[in-house]
Structure 1
Amino acid sequence: MVQERPVRVERRLSAILAADVAGYSRLMHTEEEATHARLTVLLTDAVVPAIAEHGGRIVKNTGDGFLAVFPSAVQAVRGAVQFQTRIKELTIDDAEDRRIALRVGVNIGDVIVEPHDIFGDGVNIAARLEGIAEPGGICISSSTYDQVRGKIGIEFADLGEQNLKNIDRPVRAYALVRDEPSPGTKGGSTTPSPPSAPRLSIVVLPFANISGDPEQEYFVDGVTESLTTDLSRISGSFVIAHNTALTFKGKAVDVKQIGRGLNVRYALEGSVQRGGNRLRVNVQLIDAETGNHLWAERFDKPVADLFDMQDEIVSRLANTLNAQLIEAEARRAERSLHPDAMDLIFQGMACLNKGRTSEYLAQSRSFFERALALDPRNIEALVGLAVVDAAAVGMALTVDRAARLAAAETALIKALSLAPQHARAHWLLGNVKMFTNRAAQGIAECEQALVLDRNLANAHAYIGRAKYLLGRGEETEAHVQEALRLSPRDTEAFVWMMFAGFAKLQLGADEEAVARFRRSVEINRNHPRAHIYLATALAHIGRLDEARSAAQVGLALDPTFTISRFRANVPSDNPTYLAGRERFYEGMRMAGMPEG
């Protein structure tokens, strides 16, 4: 029998150039036909001739951009510089809000070549580099930089290692430094215009040891290094490597100068002091562009095991800083006249961090939907919409429970198909599975999330939730406490305390349930369910007057609540869990809540 020869796949080492139009969706929305006509002219008069002149060819058009290949990195970068310069000349008289500008990424890679397309990891990296380039700018990989350095008379600024979307390893990137007149110069003199700092870019400066004890130096350096590692797990973050940050150790620093030198938006600095059996850690988050202090925190704890304490301090800082950085980026985005997808995502995330109310969820949904309109494959926007849908169900703010959960699961499956290592997406998919009688699968998703991000406090808490859904309420408290250890001031902490309260009621530990629900109310007095669940637990220990008062507060916050509506949303068929639910209904009736 004659075997067929395998189909030969043509591979070639090439310089890959990816380009697209910055703000294309906004331009098309404003002036569709005019934008299309202007882009066609620019491609014909500037782009195509430059690419052909330098031995390249366009292999694929992508609507608002294109992919091109060149036989060498030098030719690719020279071609890109030529057409970017020509486009600037052709558009210099256009109004700023109508001006077309391309972003360009260049990488060297071994690619699969077909007549009208190219494939491979090298192509993906070029596309992601294009995504972080400035409008009118060029961003290249380190492999490209090594080939062009000293050969083309052009300067590139080192952006450090970048965590690029859907690329499983950091990529060192360089950005074209353009010589342009600064606003204050006259007579045509020029100064280099550095690329703007990436979003969520931060340097963790070496913490100062103010204990007067040189033996504490190892602990201080350990905190700095561990925090650098943990902050790099924040999705979309750009964190300066610890070895670079160490060069500032023991020196008087100008944070604004460091920000310019390292091209970062934020700096974290701190100090560690040990006195007797106590340890104090002070930290400050600083805007590296203005020098303004954005946030400060103090940790003051008894010294037990220094390494356990280091782990706890770093975990708490990473969780708190995540929220603080999102808030800072959201404030920047509010000032943008033409926000891009990431601007909108930061604003949506900041709304979610304010609380899980109908108003904030609606605002968040609007931001995430606008982001997806600009970038339909944006992972953070997909996850954000899933958070909104799951929160609406969890907070009982919707009557479309099944539809919301189905929409959330669809968005998360799409997000994970694009980014399988996205920790929050795994946690949230676990949450959705818990809502739909798949608690064991939900635990597996949360455990995977923790493999990817050990500081993801929500994943710990929701494993605790799944345990009481499976009738194992005695295991819930430990998971909730671990979440609180990692993020004691988390905006979700009131929800975690509800989980603990449910588990205590399931076990018949009613006094402890009252304490957990009371703590939930203290954390968030504006959420109706916390008051309603507190009323339920109070009724079971015979404090009926207090129970009825708590129920009235809850009903004032949510006049639509009824016992029958609560009964309609049962996320588990476990017999132990269902028996605990019956105790819940009984407590609600004793507290005077409407049957419905």
Structure 2
Amino acid sequence: MQRRLTTLVAADLVGYSRLMAADEEGTANRLRHLRDSVILPGLAAGEGRLIKTMGDGLLAEFPSPVAAVRTVTGLLAELAAHEADQPEDRRMRFRVGVNLGDVIIDGDDVLGDGVNIAARLESLAPPGGLCISRSVHDQVRGKVEAEFTSLGPQMVKNIPDPVEVWRAELETTAPVPKTETLRPTIAILPFDNMSSDPDQEFLADGIVEDVITELSRFRSLFVIARNSTFAYKGTHKDIRQIARELDVRYVVEGSVRRAGNRLRVTAQLIEAESGRHIWADRWDRTMEDLFDLQDELTRAIVSCVEPELGAHERAMARAKPTDSLTAWELYQRGNAEYFTATPSGYARSYALFAQAIEADPQFPLPYAVLARWHFYRVLTRVAENDEAEVEAGLAFAQRAINLDNREEAGFAGLSVVLSVAGREAEANVAFQRAEALNRNSPVVLLARMILHLCSRNPQYDKLLEAAENAIKFSPRDPNLWSFWLMRGYALAGPEADLTAPGVREAFETAAGFENAEVFPFVEAAIANIANERPDRAREYLSAALTRYPELTLEGWLSGLKGQFFANSASRWASHQETLVEMGLPRA
């Protein structure tokens, strides 16, 4: 078997199916003309060899990465000039990927991961643009005129390890139409110092500064900068007037009061236009460690404000006429359906997220949620093909990351999909990126729990810590039922002991939420059997079958992923048989 190191170029025509549908013969003739008059002569001039054509694409090789990149950038410029007189929607643009890799020689053809990576790089390139691997970038840096932007490590189909990708910044790249996605705007006003000691003002200001910083980590929000909001300190202006001047939809105001060693902080979330209070809360603490106290209060305020604001946005989106929805409102409607955690809700959410993407293809959040959508398809046993669901989830997560690599939801989605696929090391890398971006995000908290639960060697103490932190710091999150479920799993521990203190109570608490998935109902039923409470077990089994009429024991067991579930399947076998006796279909 012969092998060699070579530079591979994969190219593909953008929108081929659309062009063929509009004018089949004309498109075929134009593509053939471009190939014969521009592409093939250009390859030959750059010492490239055409390996094969594949309908609307081609694969070529070059003796060096520098020759390949120079030839490709020149060809893309020539193709753009050639198509300049065509209407925008009929222009033929190519995506190109270049990789330096080892290949197997098969006659005139080449095979192997080097080819596959070139093809995946091509799929990541923008229309009329070029993406290259690290192996190519290392060779061409400083030797070609094009500038490159790092896209970071990318998960690509059928390649086990992430591929580091660079995008060429070329004038030939098609402009991406920008659609405004109206994120909610919020201003955090200076908190009032209600203490008798004016020196405590620094504490109030410090808390507000930290809240602004932490809320700014949520890319779904547009947070007014500190300098703008602190200009209103001591002015006592009406909230609605301040909101109009700052052009914001929401305002957070609050106060800090200290009496001896006690501290009380209050905060309110206000809808600016109406002046209506959406949410308010207060926290009473002791002044034992000032900095730890400030961190705790900041996190408590942030973890209440973001979910409450999201719930209000979802309610407003659902109340709005369907003929006037923006991408943001479609996304919020999709979230509302997604959080019902029912088969019909999941189906409706997918359609709404797809509409949001159609309304604004550059909006990353719908892609990020669709990654988790496919993760749940695997986890809840409804997927017909787990591998296909995982690949789809990875693609959506990667698209979200490509659009905004400062958005934690994309990395969190990538982490949970990799976790359920058993790719633990990669899942951990993705999770670390998500947590670094926003440790307060509920989806990051959930990703941490999934990572621990699906691990080959679960760390139950860390799973318990993650679950209890999520419950404490995100008490209004729509996924709160899952946090309690994870707490039950953590308390059951490596022995999967359903009689351990707090296990049954955690599962029953999870099942008590209106939007709880089927998991806590089944686990609560099994836990009640283990604790010799058969009547309660029947109640939870009935509730599970009501939510999921197609639920069977075999289907249930087939969807459980990770070492914890492997342990529990064997240790709970007799309890599961009791469920069958109580009416759970076996298959």
- Specify the TM-score bucket, using the shorter chain as the normaliser: 0.5 to 0.7
Q: Measure the CA separation in 2 of the matches of 1:581 and 1:379.
A: 38
> Which residue identity lines up with residue 547 of structure 2 in the other structure?
L
Identify the match of residue 223 of structure 1 among 183, 198, 207: 207
From the superposition, tell whether residues 324 and 430 of structure 1 become closer, same or farther in structure 2 (CA, over 3 Å). Answer: same
Cross-structure match for 2:238:
254
From the superposition, tell whether residues 471 and 373 of structure 1 become closer, same or farther in structure 2 (CA, over 3 Å): same
> Is 1:239 the counterpart of 2:239 in the alignment?
no
Choose the corresponding residue for 1:272, options 256, 263, 273: 256
Q: Distance in 2 between matches of 1:492 and 1:514?
A: 19
- The 1:413–1:199 alpha-carbon spacing in structure 2 relative to 1, beyond 3 Å, is closer
The offset of 1:517, in angstroms, is 1.1
Could you list the per-position Cα deviations for residues 292-329 of structure 1 after superposition, in whole angstroms to 9, with x for gaps in the alignment?
Answer: 32322233345443322322232233233223333444
SS of match in other structure, 2:219:
coil
Task: State the identity as a percent.
Answer: 26
Per the TM alignment, residue 207 of structure 1 is displaced from its structure 2 partner at its CA by: 0.7
1:586 aligns with 2:574: yes
SS of 1:233's partner is coil
- The answer to whether structure 1 residue 412 and structure 2 residue 397 are counterparts is yes
Give the aligned partner of residue 349 of structure 1: 335
CA deviations 1:34-54 (Å, max 9, x no partner) are xxxxxxxxxxxxxxxxxxxxx
Deviations 1:168-198 (A, max 9, x none): xxxxxxxxxxxxxxxxxxxxxxxxxxxxxx6
Distance in 2 (alpha carbons) for counterparts of 1:312 and 1:439: 31
* Structure-to-structure mapping, 1:81-120, within 5 angstroms: none
Q: Report the residue type matching 2:552 in the other structure.
A: T
Is the 2:379–2:561 Cα contact (8 Å) retained in structure 1? no
Distance 2:573 2:459 in 1: 18
Shift of 1:282: 1.9
Query: SS state of the match for residue 512, structure 2?
Result: helix
Which residue identity does 1:583 align to in structure 2? R
- The residue aligned with 1:366 is 351
Mapped contact 2:371–2:417 kept (Cα < 8 A): no
Q: Paired residue for 1:462?
A: 447
* Higher mean C-alpha deviation, range 219-228 or range 461-470: 461-470
Asked if 1:300 is matched to 2:275, the reply is no
Whether the 8 Å contact between 1:464 and 1:479 is mirrored in structure 2 is yes
Q: Distance in 1 between matches of 2:324 and 2:435?
A: 36
SS class of match (2:477): coil
- Does the 8 Å CA contact 1:285/1:293 hold for their aligned counterparts? yes
| CA distance in 2 between partners of 1:497 and 1:396 (Å) | 21
Q: What amino acid sits opposite 1:514 in the alignment?
A: R
Say whether the 8 Å CA contact 2:481–2:516 is kept in structure 1.
no
Cα distance per residue 1:523-573 (max 9 Å; x no partner): 44754321210121222333344333332332333232222111212423x
User: 1:347 is aligned with what amino acid?
Assistant: R
Quote the residue 1:340 is aligned against: 326
Match of 1:391 among 354, 376, 392: 376
Is 1:563–1:588's contact at 8 Å kept on the other side of the alignment? yes
Matched, 1:490 2:473: no
| 1:432 pairs with one of 411, 417, 421 | 417
Higher RCO (Cα < 8 Å, 6 or more apart) = 2
Structure 1 residues 332 and 557, CA gap change in structure 2 (3 angstroms): closer
Report the residue type matching 2:570 in the other structure. Answer: E
Q: Conserved in 1, the CA contact under 8 Å of 2:184 and 2:221?
A: yes
Q: Residues 531 and 554 of structure 1 are in contact (CA less than 8 Å); yes or no, is this contact kept in structure 2?
A: yes
Contact 2:303 2:473 in 1 (8 A): yes
Within-5 A mapping of 1:156-171: none
Counterpart position of 1:3? none
Q: CA deviation at 1:269?
A: 0.8
2:541 aligned partner: 551
**Secondary structure in 1 matching 2:572:** helix
- Asked if 2 retains the 8 angstrom alpha-carbon contact of 1:446 and 1:460, the reply is no
Structure 2 partner of 1:521: 511
1:37 corresponding residue in structure 2: none
What CA distance in whole angstroms lies between the structure 1 residues aligned with 2:404 and 2:265? 36
Which amino acid in 2 is paired with 1:485?
Answer: K
- 1:378 matched to 2:369? The reply is no
Q: Residues of 1 paired with 2:342 and 2:293: CA distance?
A: 35
User: 1:284 maps to which residue?
Assistant: 268
Answer whether contact 2:189 2:230 (CA < 8 A) is retained: yes
The number of residue pairs the alignment matches comes to 421
Distance 1:494 1:62, change over 3 A: farther
Question: In the TM superposition, what is the alpha-carbon distance from 1:577 to its structure 2 partner?
Answer: 5.2
CA drift at 1:428: 1.2
Q: Is the 8 A contact 2:368 2:397 kept in 1?
A: yes
User: Which residue pairs with 1:565 in the alignment?
Assistant: 555
Q: Tell me, what secondary structure is at the counterpart of 2:273?
A: coil
1:579 partner letter: N
2:440 is paired with a residue whose SS is coil
In structure 2, the residue matched to 1:11 is none
Matched, 1:533 2:523: yes
Partner of 1:51: none
Gaps of 5+ in 1: 1-58, 67-110, 114-118, 133-164, 166-197
| Partner Cα separation in structure 2 for residue 490 and residue 568 of structure 1 | 29
The answer to whether the 8 Å contact 1:365/1:385 transfers is yes
Q: Which structure 2 residue ranges, 5 or more long, are not aligned?
A: 1-83, 92-144, 148-167
Indicate conservation of the 8 Å contact 2:471/2:484, yes or no. Answer: no
Structure 1 residues 388, 256: closer, same or farther in 2, change over 3 A?
same
Q: Read off the aligned partner of 2:487 and give its amino acid letter.
A: A
Structure 1 residue identity aligned to 2:449: G
AA partner of residue 233 (structure 1)? R
Following superposition, the deviation at residue 199 of structure 1 comes to 3.2
Question: For residues 217 and 245 of structure 1, what CA distance do their matches in structure 2 show?
Answer: 16
CA distance in 1, matches of 2:432, 2:196: 42
Distance (whole Å) between structure 1 residues aligned to residue 172 and residue 304 of structure 2: 36
Distance 1:481 1:256, change over 3 A: same
Q: 2:311, 2:528 → 1: CA distance? A: 38
Aligned pairs (5 A) from 1:74-223? 131-132=179-180, 199-223=183-207
SS of residue paired to 1:455 = coil
